[in-house]
Structure 1
Amino acid sequence: MAIPTRVIASPARGVECVKKRAKRLHFTAFSRDAEQVATASGRVNLMGDHVDYAGGFVLPMALSLHTAVAASRADHDCAVSESSDDRAWTRYAFGVLAQLRDAGLSIPPLSLAVASDVPVGAGLSSSAALEVAVARVALAVVGAALEPRALALLCQRAEHIGAGVPCGIMDQWCVTHAQPHQSIMLDCARLTSTLITLPPTLVIDIVDSDERHALRDGGYAARRADVEAAARALRVPLLAQLPRARWHEIDALAPQLARRARHVVHESARVHEMCAALAANDLARVGALFFESHQSLRDDFDVSTHALDAIVERARSEGVLGARMTGGGFGGCVIIVRRA
């Protein structure tokens, strides 16, 4: 059976085209010009899925796919999007405005128009890109600014409260701190990050399964609850910080919690191994780590799907260096690495 896939490429016209679409949509929807327009990029996670909320290490990379939001003052908050009939996305946008106001910023009611090249539900941080772009444009309207760390934390809080998704910090941190094609290693417990150089001999393809997920549907929250339960059982504040000398204690947990914990500690360790392999230009090891990560996400964390597995296995049969699902899972994209 053929698997419907497509390789996601950066739009040829880039960020300026997305900004123009947002401004045009704003004028069409609200019959006036936008006062400001702001953008944010999507991201792909090279390694370290479902460990950010466990205090682990992650290795995301910003993409040349952007969300633009055009805004003007209004009588009440309202928002339109060029591409979505599902109004659930407004919970993310309005959640950001609420958090900005709760932080003491005098954000007036706003009309928002959203255009985006970041596919929704593909595991490429469409929600974080929307949140950060909304925050940036709202701040621009009143001539204010937040430094990247504060902006990332505010947008994470908006997703928790406004959208009801208990996300970690990785997406918002990468979107606020990295430029397109920059990769960063982030310590999610200490909130410190380092830019990581990718070797020019490494080619990264992002393949969309066209299976869509919605993290608010509950699977993501259930996995986080398992991780937190495992941490409590092991008597550590954050599961990814369980010392390697104590990893054997995972085997004594209830089977499902043991599988979740096994993924978290090994996945966080794989980020360090990945950075070392990239620094040494050891592309064979990079690829092996990709396959190991996918197996863990599939078997221990139960967030892969038949379509994602099929893409990974087809890539393996074609002789690529490595492949793995990326993002929260339950659909979305596979990231494939190969030699230039």
Structure 2
Amino acid sequence: MNAISIGEGFGRVNLIGEHLDYNGGHVMPLQIKNSVICEISENKNTDYISIVSDKYKDSFIVKKLEKRHDWTDFIIGSCLFFEQKFKVKVTKISINVKSSLPLGIGLSSSAAITVSTLKSLVKYFQRVISNKELIDLAYDIENNFVGVGGGIMDQFVSVLGNQNEALFLNTANRNYELIPIFKDYKFVIIDSNTQRILSDSNFNQKKELCYSAAKNMNVENLCVKSKIGEHDIQSLSDDELSVSKHVIEENIRVVKAAQFLKSNGAEEFGKLMTESHMSLSKYYKVSTLELDKLVDLANSFGALGSKLTGAGFGGAIVTLVKKELVEELKKYILDNYPNAKFI
């Protein structure tokens, strides 16, 4: 064992392809500089795990690896699944979590916590794990221990992404490509700074609608389809039709966006971002008045395109703007939406 080990997990902003990773679709996240750092040190005079974080005042003593139904579940789950995979006893350690990544605004703080903890455990116990194993283990923890029913995107980009290339990922077969982002433009993340109303029930309701729609159309997942036919419409409820329209059309947008990114088509890429947001607001119904306002403000300023990022129900937007106009954009946004924060 190492006396001290450090693991880092990065956040992400999803440029386009919202709510597709659990529908077998294409996504395009970009790793961001903000991260979670997990430091593990030996605490041999105890028979438990202690957890502290710079984001929370309380410290936690964990004597049994079971759910607490708070943010520490990501760490506890990591310790439990690590134990099971590597047949080691995870105890007598102190875990110190430091984060420059805002929590709960749609930038994948949960995957960053899980990945950073697993990386630190691997170093501390001197084990070896491949990137694929790390992604799978982090995904397993979030879905089967914590109970966050997302797809594979967040873990994938936290492990294999970088800050200069978007990760164009087919979540159905896990084929991926790293595509350099625009040189003369910047993706700016703007936090609406409002209480995020995402709950398991909200998220899972959308997911179940997608699954039931796919079942009613006799397909494995919605992204297998390229359009909704007349026969499909008759077999779907209004809500199923609405989410299906977003998912199927969004998947097509992501594939187009990848081509525009490769060909330096920033204006076309931006238009697809705004189309994505309109669909998320109108059809998937996960936007808020605040997110809609920020998108409208950024676009009226002269951004090439803007959209909510992450699951929605609050959180942040991402907007594409010329690098030399970034500071002017920030001033314009703050003049019209004083509570905004820039990540």
* Cα contact 2:12–2:29 (8 A) shared by 1: yes
* Cα contact 2:168–2:178 (8 A) shared by 1: yes
Q: For residue 125 of structure 2, what is the aligned residue in structure 1? A: 142
Partners of 1:122 and 1:99 in 2: CA distance? 26
Ranges in structure 2 where 5+ consecutive residues have no aligned partner: 59-68, 324-343
* Cα contact 1:163–1:216 (8 A) shared by 2: no
Pairing of 1:240-279 with structure 2 (within 5 A): 240-242=223-225, 244=226, 247-252=229-234, 253-279=236-262
Q: Rate the CA distance shift 1:282–1:179 in 2: closer, same or farther, 3 A.
A: closer
Post-superposition CA distance 1:108-152 (Å, at most 9, x none): 213211000110011111010000000000111110121111111
Partners of 2:229 and 2:181 in 1: CA distance? 31
Post-superposition CA distance 1:293-334 (Å, at most 9, x none): 001111111111111001001112112100000001111110
Q: Rate the CA distance shift 1:334–1:176 in 2: closer, same or farther, 3 A.
A: same
**Secondary structure class of the residue paired with 2:27:** strand
Q: Rate the CA distance shift 1:46–1:142 in 2: closer, same or farther, 3 A.
A: same
Number of residue pairs matched?
307
Q: Which moved more, 1:102-111 or 1:152-161?
A: 102-111
2:203 aligns with one of 220, 231, 241: 220
Post-superposition CA distance 1:9-46 (Å, at most 9, x none): xxxxxxxxxxxxxxxxxxxxxxxx96111111111101
**Structure 1 counterpart of 2:41, which letter?**
S
**Secondary structure class of the residue paired with 1:328:** coil
Ranges in structure 1 where 5+ consecutive residues have no aligned partner: 1-32
Q: TM-score, normalised by structure 2?
A: 0.85
Partners of 1:53 and 1:84 in 2: CA distance? 31
Partners of 2:277 and 2:105 in 1: CA distance? 16
Q: For residue 162 of structure 1, what is the aligned residue in structure 2? A: 145
Q: For residue 10 of structure 1, what is the aligned residue in structure 2? A: none
1:330 aligns with one of 284, 306, 313: 313
* Cα contact 1:208–1:334 (8 A) shared by 2: yes
1:69 corresponds to 2:51? no
Partners of 1:181 and 1:208 in 2: CA distance? 21
Partners of 1:34 and 1:115 in 2: CA distance? 18
Deviation at 1:249, TM superposition (A): 4.5
Q: Rate the CA distance shift 1:316–1:245 in 2: closer, same or farther, 3 A.
A: closer
**Secondary structure class of the residue paired with 2:103:** coil
* Cα contact 1:263–1:297 (8 A) shared by 2: yes
**Secondary structure class of the residue paired with 2:280:** helix
1:89 corresponds to 2:71? yes
* Cα contact 2:198–2:314 (8 A) shared by 1: no
Q: Which moved more, 1:62-71 or 1:203-212?
A: 203-212
1:41 corresponds to 2:7? no
Partners of 2:164 and 2:267 in 1: CA distance? 21
Deviation at 1:246, TM superposition (A): 5.2
* Cα contact 1:312–1:324 (8 A) shared by 2: yes
Q: TM-score, normalised by structure 1?
A: 0.86
Q: Rate the CA distance shift 1:108–1:214 in 2: closer, same or farther, 3 A.
A: farther
**Secondary structure class of the residue paired with 2:33:** strand
1:80 aligns with one of 52, 66, 74: 52
2:270 aligns with one of 262, 287, 292: 287
Post-superposition CA distance 1:240-297 (Å, at most 9, x none): 112x265555433111000111111111111111011112222221111011000111
Partners of 2:10 and 2:276 in 1: CA distance? 25
Partners of 1:300 and 1:83 in 2: CA distance? 35
* Cα contact 2:227–2:249 (8 A) shared by 1: no
Pairing of 1:152-231 with structure 2 (within 5 A): 152-213=135-196, 215-231=198-214
2:291 aligns with one of 308, 332, 340: 308
Post-superposition CA distance 1:200-226 (Å, at most 9, x none): 022111001112436554211111111
Give identity over the alignment, percent.
Answer: 29
**Secondary structure class of the residue paired with 1:121:** coil
Partners of 1:81 and 1:180 in 2: CA distance? 25
**Secondary structure class of the residue paired with 2:287:** coil
1:132 aligns with one of 100, 111, 115: 115
Partners of 1:318 and 1:47 in 2: CA distance? 21
* Cα contact 1:107–1:139 (8 A) shared by 2: no
Partners of 2:228 and 2:192 in 1: CA distance? 37
Q: For residue 339 of structure 1, what is the aligned residue in structure 2? A: 322
**Structure 2 counterpart of 1:108, which letter?**
V
Q: Which moved more, 1:95-104 or 1:165-174?
A: 95-104
Partners of 1:268 and 1:324 in 2: CA distance? 15
Q: For residue 334 of structure 2, what is the aligned residue in structure 1? A: none
